[in-house]
């Protein structure tokens, strides 16, 4: 009896269960947006190596910050010669001070993290500084949550820098509200704008490959005004179109149609005409995420600043100097300690010359201030008479 039951069940067709909303869900998800990966390496490739706006924004920030003059001073004097200044001027055999700061700021802007390694001699004095790639470095937190080591992975091998007894690694990171150990890159905030900008560029390239004209339709009409092409006729038409009428090389070539074929050109749709504006809007969003005025990147449609000089001054004040102060302060605490301070010399920044001249004139004319107070307001050591 049991065997008969199983035979009867096996003879019945297998039940297939399906959701009543399956077709709706499938239809809806078939047109969903596809974004690029959000890991650091993919964002650098898509947003820096593969996007001119992102590339130029990062290079503007890094080049401006790396060329700022850095001085070392304490409460009494500004040092003309110091071991830390010597190391910064020649951090390693392959880099100068500008190269070192360029690499630090570049890594910080690209990934939100910058790692600097110090190499000491037998006496413990720092003789070399090296910038390590942030995508290869990982933080090893201790039981209390603070980093106890850093691991650098290259080619399947790992090297651990212990932070227990010394600090061979200086980790400079940007603010991240949801991560305790790693900083947030501007590319994270601009990732969608980068995807839109790259997609618009790809669309423009495809349009150029199609002779910079919108597509059309070949309409076939038989003798009675109806009908369809035979398979061999259809294949021949497709091959002829691909060989003689596609690509920039065949732009403007006349089309010879026969056998009731008629060409119906299609004009640009309103959405096609908006592509350039969409691309420019995405470019402005990328520039905004990095804190670079769109005017400095040659992006049209931005009239926030009266002229280029005002935009450049705002760029230094709101983006370059805060970032440079963060980097220099971290290096100062790491290399110098509390006895002295590395800082940016604002008096030698050409973009801020007008502001500094006005500040000097205003402070010089303040007779109620002493000489030491005036020097302190200008960021100079109170005891330095030079």
**Residuewise pLDDT in 10s, the chain (386 residues):** 544 544 555 555 555 545 454 444 444 444 455 667 777 888 888 999 999 999 999 999 999 999 999 999 888 888 889 999 999 999 999 999 999 999 999 999 999 999 999 998 888 889 999 999 999 999 999 988 889 999 999 988 999 999 888 889 999 999 999 999 999 999 999 999 999 888 888 877 776 666 545 556 666 666 555 566 667 766 776 677 666 555 555 555 556 555 666 666 655 555 555 677 888 889 999 999 999 999 899 887 666 666 888 889 999 999 999 999 999 999 999 999 888 999 998 888 888 888 787 877 888 888 888 888 878 777 778 765 44
Q: What is the pLDDT of residue 377?
A: 78
Q: What is the pLDDT of residue 246?
A: 58
The length of the chain in residues reads 386
Q: What is the pLDDT of residue 220?
A: 60
For the chain, the structural domain boundaries read: 31-210+282-344, 216-265, 353-386
Q: What is the pLDDT of residue 249?
A: 53
pTM as predicted: 0.74
Q: What is the pLDDT of residue 69?
A: 93
Q: What is the pLDDT of residue 350?
A: 86
Q: What is the pLDDT of residue 181?
A: 92
Q: Is 5 exposed, middle or buried (0-12, 13-18, 19+ CB in 10 A)?
A: exposed
Q: What is the pLDDT of residue 237?
A: 67
Q: What is the pLDDT of residue 23?
A: 45
In the chain, which ranges are continuous DSSP H helix? 2-11, 22-29, 40-44, 52-66, 83-89, 97-111, 186-189, 191-209, 231-244, 270-273, 275-290, 308-315, 321-335, 353-364, 371-377
Is the CB of residue 305 less than 8 Å from the CB of residue 314? yes
Give the whole-angstrom CA distance, residue 107 versus residue 135: 9
From 133, 61, 50, select the one nearest 290 (Cα to Cα).
Answer: 61
Is the CB of residue 381 less than 8 Å from the CB of residue 76? yes
| Residues 6+ away with beta carbon under 8 Å from 363 | 369, 374, 377, 378
Is the CB of residue 381 less than 8 Å from the CB of residue 74? yes
């Amino acid at each position: 009896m049991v065997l008969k039951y199983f035979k009867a069940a096996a003879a019945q067709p297998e039940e297939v269960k399906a959701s009543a909303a399956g077709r709706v869900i499938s239809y809806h998800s078939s047109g969903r947006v596809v974004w690029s990966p959000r890991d650091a390496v993919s964002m650098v490739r898509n947003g820096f190596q593969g996007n001119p706006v992102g590339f130029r924004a990062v290079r503007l920030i890094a080049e401006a910050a790396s060329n700022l003059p850095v001085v070392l001073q304490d409460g009494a004097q500004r040092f003309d010669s110091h071991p830390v200044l010597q190391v910064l001027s020649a951090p390693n055999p392959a880099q100068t001070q500008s190269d070192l700061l360029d690499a630090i700021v570049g890594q910080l802007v690209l990934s939100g993290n910058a790692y600097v390694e110090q190499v000491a001699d037998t006496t413990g004095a720092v003789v070399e500084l090296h910038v390590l790639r942030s995508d290869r470095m990982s933080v090893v937190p201790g039981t209390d949550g603070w980093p106890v080591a850093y691991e650098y992975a290259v080619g399947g091998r790992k090297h651990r820098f212990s932070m227990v007894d010394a600090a061979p690694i200086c980790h400079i990171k940007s603010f991240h509200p949801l991560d305790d150990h790693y900083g947030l890159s501007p590319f994270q905030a601009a990732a969608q704008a980068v995807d839109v900008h790259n997609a618009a560029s790809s669309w423009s390239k495809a349009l150029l490959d199609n002779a910079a004209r919108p597509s059309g339709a070949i309409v076939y009409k038989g003798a009675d005004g109806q009908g369809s092409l035979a398979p061999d006729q259809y294949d021949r038409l497709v091959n002829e179109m691909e060989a003689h009428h596609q690509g920039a090389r065949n732009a403007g070539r006349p089309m010879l149609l026969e056998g009731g074929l008629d060409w119906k050109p299609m004009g640009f749709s309103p959405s096609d005409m908006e592509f350039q504006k969409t691309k420019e809007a995405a470019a402005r969003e990328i520039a905004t995420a990095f804190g670079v005025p769109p005017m400095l990147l040659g992006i049209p449609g931005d009239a926030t600043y009266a002229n280029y000089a005002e935009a450049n001054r705002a760029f230094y004040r709101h983006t370059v100097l805060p970032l440079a102060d963060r980097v220099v302060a971290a290096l100062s605490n790491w290399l110098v300690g509390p006895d002295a301070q590395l800082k940016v010399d604002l008096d030698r920044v050409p973009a801020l010359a007008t502001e500094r001249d006005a500040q000097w004139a205003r402070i010089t004319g303040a007779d109620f201030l002493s000489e030491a107070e005036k020097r302190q307001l200008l960021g100079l050591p109170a005891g330095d008479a030079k």
